[in-house]
Structure 1
Amino acid sequence: MTDRNPGGRRLRQWLIEQIHSNLYPGLLWENDEETMFRIPWKHAGKQDYNQEIDASIFKAWAVFKGKFKEGDKAEPATWKTRLRCALNKSPDFEEVTDRSQLDISEPYKVYRIVPEEEQKCKMAAALSSSDVTDMECSPLEIEELIKESSPEDYMGIIRRSHSPPQDTVRTQPQPEWWPSTCLNSVQAMQDSSPAGNFNAAFSQMMITFYYGGKLVGNTLTTHNEGCRISLFQPPLANEMLYGPDSLQNIRFPPVEMIENERQRHVTKKLFAHLERGVLVRANREGIFIKRLCQSRVFWSGMCSQYSSSPNKLDRDAVVKIFDTARFLTGLQLYQEGQCPAPDPIVTLCFGEEFPDANSAKYKLIIVQITQMNCQQVLDAFNARRTNYSSGNLEISDESQNDQMARIFQDLCSYNGQPRPCFRENLPITV
Structure 2
Amino acid sequence: MQSHPKPQFASWLIKQVETGQYSGLRYVGPNRFRVPWKHNSRKDCNDEDGKIFKAWAVASGKISDFPKDKARWKTNFRCALNNLHERFKLIADNSKNTDDPHKIYEIIIPESNSQEDYDPDIYSSPTEYFPSGCDLNLLNTFNELDISSNMTGTVETLKCFIVKKIFHSSTKVKHKNHYVLFFPAPPTHPPQVPTINDLEISIFYRKREMLKTNVTCQHLQLHYPQETQEPSVHALCFPSTDGLTDHKQIHYTNRILDSIQRGLTLKVQEDGIYAYRHDRCHVFASTSDQTVAHPNPQKLPLNTMTQLLSFGNYLNELKNFEDNSGRSPEYTIYMCFGEKFPDGKPLDRKLIVVKVVPLACRYFHEQAQLKGASSLHSSNISLQTSYNSLMELINTYIGLPTAEDFSLYKATSEHRKQRITLY
TM-score tier (shorter): 0.3 to 0.5
Larger Rg: 1
Q: What is the TM-score with the length of structure 1 in the denominator? A: 0.43
Higher helix share: 1
